[in-house]
Structure 1
Amino acid sequence: MTAFDELMAFQRETSALGQIAGRLGWDQETVMPRGASPQRAEEMAAIEAVLHARRSDPRVAEWLDQAAPQDEVGKAQLREIRRAYDRAVKVPADLATAIARTTSAAQGTWAQARADEDVSAFLPVLEEVVSLKRQEGEALAQGGDVYDAMVEDYEPCTTGAQIAAIFDEMRPRLVALRAAVLERPEPAALTGSFDELTQMRLTQKLAVAFGYGLNNGRVDKAVHPFSSGSGLDVRITTRTSETDPFNCFYSTIHEVGHAAYEQGIDRDYLLTPLGRGVSMGVHESQSRIYENQLGRSRAFTGWLFDQMKDAFGDFGIADADAFYATVNRVHNGYIRTEADEVQYNLHIMLRFDLERALMAGDLQVSELEAAWNDRFKADFGYAVDKPSNGCLQDVHWSVGLFGYFPTYSLGNVYAGCLYQALRGAVPELDEQLAEGDTTGATAWLREHVQQHGGLYAPREIIQRASGVEPGPEPLLDYLEQKFSGLYGL
């Protein structure tokens, strides 16, 4: 075997172990008995110790020096392995293990604190998580910006300052659109009771309609919807509310976007660095375009309206046009995952600024709840009513995902670019979506984005697919056109 072959064989074993760790995380958030949390924390710590040892194994450096890839794919494999190795060797093994142990335990603490509306029960373990992640960031940054080092895990070659500049460009138009829309009469909200088993049957149908392969996946319920895995085993979760089936349906469509990306990657890349999404921003471009530009379109909501009538009978919405307005209703709310397209990015900007301040040491964990509530009141004009609608609503910080939140808005920006190109490439898109047929859109996304996995850098894959340099203007134009039409602006 050549050095390249030996390195790739070693990498496939490491990737397989990483998939096992991911499956433990899936189990913890879906079916694991609550009392198993302390043991699961030790299990996660143990497997992280093994993974860290492999990722920082000195032989990887030797193989990288000796490997001679024969093509573009081989060069990309080495690029990703080198990037991961350079990061792994900077983080002490005991720190990596401590982070895995602490974040596993913290997830359970967060879930209980959220259920109990008790911020004080969560803050001590969050303090530990923040301290450990800051140590990790300092090790990775080596004198540079700690938050930039964290963002690198989720969106390579992107800095906090670059993200802040994008957000500064987006905010004025978003705020102006929000203000104009909220001055107009609000469409009717969905009311009534919707059987949760029926929701799950329809959500399974929606998952299949958007191309999710159930032979290599499954749909379960969790406190916070997520997608897990890659290659031949890609699982999603959703959640149900008896009074809000949209929460279930659009959480499912969103997670199917993630899962379809992973299922669509070239199988030749299985269990290699290229065999997963290249970044969370690109990942979110898929979930957000599935959920919003496709799933909340006038064409697709017409089909969904008929499906809901078949499933639930008369549910108080007169026709498909009224249903479209209800699905896209801009309204006050606290929850990021339930936010309309106009206000969603404002929720992300709040989190981005707070977590950046936490990592810089400018904001203390003990001050987080007050800082969140003050910022929310300033941005949205009304007060947070309870912790589960405030700083306890998201799972991300409990499991150490600092630097993750801005990728949601980067995904929206990328989705805007992709949708602009998709409309030109598939002129019959609306006719297809009106029949519940997403294959024109999903096949285009699979061909131009998903199949490539990690082959190209994040901004490069979006530029190659869309034909434009990624920027927020296509997204903002789309939002203004859509909601001006909906609200008669």
Structure 2
Amino acid sequence: MTTAYDDLMAFQRETSRAHRIWAQARADEDVAAFLPALSRVLDLRREEAACIAGNADPYDALLDDYEPGATGAQLSAMFGALRPRLAALRAAILDRPAAPKLSGDFPEAGQLALSRELALAFGYDLSLGRIDKAVHPFSSGSGLDVRITTRTAADDPFNCFYSTVHEVGHACYEQGIDRTHLLTPVGGGVSMGVHESQSRIYENQLGRSEAFTGWLYGRMRDTFGDIGITNPADFYACVNSVGSGFIRTEADEVQYNLHVLLRFDLERALVSGDLAVTDLEAAWNDRFMADFGFAVDKPSNGVLQDVHWSEGLFGYFPTYTLGNVYAGCLYQALRADVPTLDDDLARGDTSGATGWLRSNVQQFGSLFAPVDLITRAAGQAPSEAPLLAYLEQKFGGIYGL
């Protein structure tokens, strides 16, 4: 008779093996080499989910690991409302002239110095953390020790700057939790969706706003000299440029959620058994063509691009879009409560916004359930409507739609 410990060890062995196989399959552009390992991991997750779910939807049991209280049916309805308007906005934008592009020299030392300035501008407390360079940006730790990493790219300083701001959003959530909650069950972020709402609102609604990019434009020119863009309006368009691409992690605000919705629908179908693992690549490619209007060119740009499924992280993907939905709700309330927001951001001062987020979201840690926390802060239950209104207004203005 196997024990829970035996089952856990089996899962750890299979995901460790699957990760190595995925990495090699991705390098070789060989989907077939990965599918048997994926099938084994999926079978173990299905078995686990069935034990937990009882008569409920097994996918909900997996989702609960990352977003307590959420259900696949609820998210499917919310995401179903997002998808057509995002696809229409994407198509309209790509029918317009492309945004201006940066040019010039962007030495790593300058990128890292300005990245540190941005972290401080967004309220990151370096006395309780540090910033290092890594291949992939991340935030780790909690309470009195919260660290982040960023990365640099010689031809793309925005990669460094907005990776930093994104991770600062995660870090400030942990640093902002009321210290009386530390080392207790409520002393950390309540869910992946709420955590992502903080990183996304810091990065996008605040960091990519017209007001803040006006300030950043001046700092870019101070740091790097000629950057190939001669006015703040063009710089704002450049920061928020929309273009065709395959990779989720590199996608702009308009298209990012389309990447996530694809993964959510496919993994939900995999868990339910409605989609066979052997049909996954074809299903991915068909959906990508439907949503993005062009074909996947190779597996590393398609079904093999993400590590999540090799590690058994079914139920994780939807929290990325849920974080954007939460951020849309919070931003709507924030703008109403902080009437000086644009003037503040134009001076590089985020304290009004970050202070509001700390008071209304971050300080509570896990004291409230995710939906209850967002509802208290935003004054309404989570809905896709504020995010869609924000995206359509912002990008409609930039691209003259």
TM-score normalised over the length of structure 1: 0.77
2:173 equivalent to 1:261: yes
Match of 1:420 among 332, 339, 354: 332
SS in 2 for 1:237: strand
Q: Give the equivalent residue in structure 2 for 1:329.
A: 241
Equivalents in 2 of 1:125, 1:213: separation in Å?
42
The 8 Å contact of residues 105 and 224 in structure 2, kept in 1 or not, is answered as: no
Task: Please point out which of 28, 31, 50 is paired with 1:138.
Answer: 50
Query: Taking structure 1 as reference, are residues 407 and 422 closer, same or farther at Cα in structure 2, changes over 3 Å only?
Result: same
1:283 aligns with 2:283: no
1:129 shift after superposition? 2.4
Give runs of aligned pairs for residues 297-446 of structure 1, distance below 5 A: 297-446=209-358
1:290 Cα deviation (Å)?
0.6
- The 1-side partners of 2:163 and 2:217 are apart by 17
> Contact 1:211–1:439 (CA<8 Å) still a contact in 2?
yes
Shift of 1:259: 1.3
Letter in 1 for 2:43: S
1:153 aligns with 2:65: yes
Change (3 A) 1:189 1:98: farther
* CA contact 1:369–1:391 (8 Å) conserved in 2: yes
Distance in 1, matches of 2:136 and 2:27, equals 12
Report deviation, 1:372: 1.7
Q: Is the 8 A contact 2:143 2:179 kept in 1?
A: yes
Show CA shifts across 1:119-173 (max 9, x none).
Answer: 4554443333222222221221124211111111111111101100001112222
2:87–2:292 CA contact under 8 A, matched in 1? no
Coordinate RMSD, CA, aligned: 2.1
Count of aligned pairs between the two proteins: 399
Partner of 1:270: 182
Is 1:219 aligned with 2:131? yes
Map Cα deviations across residues 10-43 of structure 1 (whole Å, 9 max, x no partner): xxxxxxxxxxxxxxxxxxxxxxxxxxxxxxxxxx
Report deviation, 1:285.
Answer: 1.1
SS of 2:387's equivalent in the other structure is helix
> How far apart are residue 394 of structure 1 and its match?
2.2
**Aligned partners of 1:422 and 1:444 also within 8 Å:** yes
Aligned partners of 2:18 and 2:130: how far apart in 1? 26
Alignment gaps of 5+ in structure 2: none
Letter in 1 for 2:61: A
Q: Matches of 1:411 and 1:128 in 2, distance apart?
A: 30
**Secondary structure of the corresponding residue to residue 141 of structure 2:** strand
Counterparts of residues 27-66 of structure 1 (less than 5 Å): none
Aligned residue for 2:308, secondary structure, equals: coil
Instruction: Work out whether residues 101 and 228 of structure 2, in 8 Å CA contact, stay in contact via their aligned partners in 1.
Output: no
Distance apart, 1:325 and its partner CA:
0.3
Q: Which moved more, 1:222-231 or 1:271-280?
A: 222-231
**1:294–1:361 distance in 2 versus 1, CA, 3 Å:** same
Secondary structure at the counterpart of residue 38 of structure 2: helix
After superposition, the C-alpha distances for 1:93-115 in whole angstroms (9 at most, x for unaligned) are: 22223333443454455445445
Amino acid paired to 1:163: L
Q: 1:148 to 1:136 in 2, by over 3 A?
A: same
Deviations 1:190-243 (A, max 9, x none): 345533343233222222221122232233344443322222222223333322
Question: SS of 1:155's equivalent?
Answer: coil
Distance in 1, matches of 2:310 and 2:385, equals 33
Q: What CA distance in whole angstroms lies between the structure 1 residues aligned with 2:373 and 2:124? A: 22
Which of these residues, 100, 109, 115, is aligned with residue 203 of structure 1? 115
* Cα distance in structure 2, aligned partners of 1:461 and 1:330: 32
1:400 deviates by 2.1
Q: Write the distance in 2 (CA, Å) between the matches of 1:243 and 1:117.
A: 27
Q: 1:246 aligns with which of 158, 168, 171?
A: 158
Equivalent pair of 1:224/1:395 in contact (CA under 8 Å): no
Deviation of residue 288 (structure 1)? 1.0
Distance in 1 separating the partners of 2:31 and 2:111: 31
Is 1:236 matched with 2:148? yes
Distance 2:14 2:343 in 1: 50
Structure 2: how far apart are the matches of 1:318 and 1:99?
A: 55
CA distance in 1: counterparts of 2:32 and 2:111, whole angstroms: 35
Alignment partners' CA distance in 1, 2:8 and 2:283: 29
- Give the superposition deviation at 1:484: 1.4
CA–CA distance in 2 between the matches of 1:352 and 1:414?
17
State the distance in 1 between where 2:105 and 2:326 align.
36
Counterparts of 2:77 and 2:346, CA distance in 1: 38
The aligned residue for residue 40 of structure 2 is 128
- Inter-partner Cα distance in structure 2 for 1:154 and 1:163: 13
For 1:224 and 1:404, locate their aligned partners in 2 and report how far apart those are by CA, in whole Å.
18
Please report how far the alpha carbon of residue 347 of structure 1 lies from its aligned counterpart in structure 2 after TM superposition. Answer: 1.0
2-structure distance, mates of 1:221, 1:393: 22
> Normalising by structure 2, what TM-score?
0.93
Q: Which residue of 1 aligns with 2:366?
A: 454
Structure 1 range deviating more: 92-101 or 244-253: 92-101
1:183 aligns with 2:95: yes
1:331 is matched by which residue type in structure 2? G
CA spacing shift, 1:364–1:213, aligned 2, 3 Å: farther
- In structure 2, C-alpha distance between the alignment counterparts of 1:243 and 1:474, rounded to whole Å: 34
Bigger CA radius of gyration: 1
Question: C-alpha deviations, 1:50-69, integer Å up to 9, x for none?
Answer: xxxxxxxxxxxxxxxxxxxx
Percent identity over the alignment is: 68
Q: 1:205/1:107 Cα in 2 relative to 1: closer, same or farther (>3 Å)?
A: farther
